[in-house]
Amino acid sequence: MDKTAIEQIQKSANIPALLQQVNDRHPEATVAVLPDNFTIADLERYMPYRNSYRASMSTDSMADFVEYASEFQQEGSHCYISTDSMKAEIVFDLGTLGQPGHQRHKASLSLTRTAAYRALMQINGERVDQKKLAEWIEDWAENIKAHDTAGDSMSAKTAAAAIRRMTIEQVRKVESEVQDYSANMSAMERIEAKSKDTMPAGFVFTCTPYNSLGEYSFEVRISVLTGAEKPMLSLRIRQFELAQESMTKEFKELLVSELSGGHIETYIGHLG
């Protein structure tokens, strides 16, 4: 008997043991042991149904997300909320410590920024000229309550007009002192942005930042930059991080309320 025949007999002798081992470990698996070096082939594609439910559903609708979650939730389902992107993801088949799942079935919800909030985010931290800021304030006048340095309120129309009429004034003052044995000279230069109208120091921008959330008011500070030939203005939202925390908290509370009574645990964080 040659070497090839002996190796074939040895392989054949191991087949029952291998089949038994596969069956013990995966009694419901649709696999077959092929004679080519005993490779294992998945026969799921030839079966009328899949072994498990696999899908990844995405939506920006809170109602559809909750309805989908209610239909497919099971023991071991978990929901994770991202504070940066205002996105929630449910892993339905995460499983338990004793029976971990394959994490193949998920659903994600991405809250959509409203047009007003997108406009606010686009201008936050930017340097803009008079014309652009005045037009921006006029476009979103319904959302804006402006005020001057004293805290007195003014209309958005008045604030936009003051910004349009703003000019830069440069004053140079030279002082000279001469004594018997010395001479001192100092120069002082002041650059100031002025307007014929009362200048706005900032404004409160009120809007619904994301669909499904409530209304928020953002305090915006206006700074005038006088380093260039024409005045530039910079806008910054004060304590924006606190507003983000409040929005994330509201998002989680809303999801917990909508998903209550089921098997879905909700967390703030990411699943690695």
- What does the alpha-carbon distance between residue 185 and residue 134 come to, in Å, rounded to a whole number? 42
Which amino acid is residue 88, in one-letter code? A
Nearest 5°: the CA angle 112, 252, 84 is: 55
Taking the C-alpha atoms of residue 265 and residue 74, their distance in angstroms, rounded to an integer, is 11
Q: Which pLDDT score is estimated for 100?
A: 85
CA distances from 109 to 159, 210, 211, 233 (A): 39, 12, 12, 37
pLDDT attached to residue 191? 41
Query: What is the residue extent of each domain of the chain?
Result: 1-51, 115-239
Token look-up 């079966």 returns 47
Q: Please name every residue paired with 223 in a beta bridge, in sequence order, or none if there are none.
A: 234
What DSSP string runs through 17-73?
HHHHHHHHH-TT--EEE-TTTT-EEE-GGGSSS-SS--EEEEES-HHHHHHHHHHH-
What are the contacts of 239-247 at 24+ separation with CB within 8 A? 240/124, 243/216, 243/218, 244/83, 245/83, 246/216, 247/86, 247/209, 247/210, 247/213, 247/216
Nearest to 86 by CA among 110, 64, 51: 110
Token pair, residue 266, equals 């909700």
- The pLDDT, as a whole number, for residue 89 is 95
Q: What is residue 97's predicted lDDT score, i.e. its pLDDT?
A: 83
One-letter amino acid of 262: G
10-residue mean pLDDT series, the chain (272 residues): 48 60 60 63 76 86 93 90 88 87 90 95 92 94 93 92 74 48 44 62 95 94 78 90 92 89 84 78
Is this prediction's pTM over 0.85? Answer: no
Give me the residues paired with residue 107 across strands.
57, 90
The pLDDT of residue 197: 65
Question: φ and ψ at 218, to 5 degrees?
Answer: -110, 125
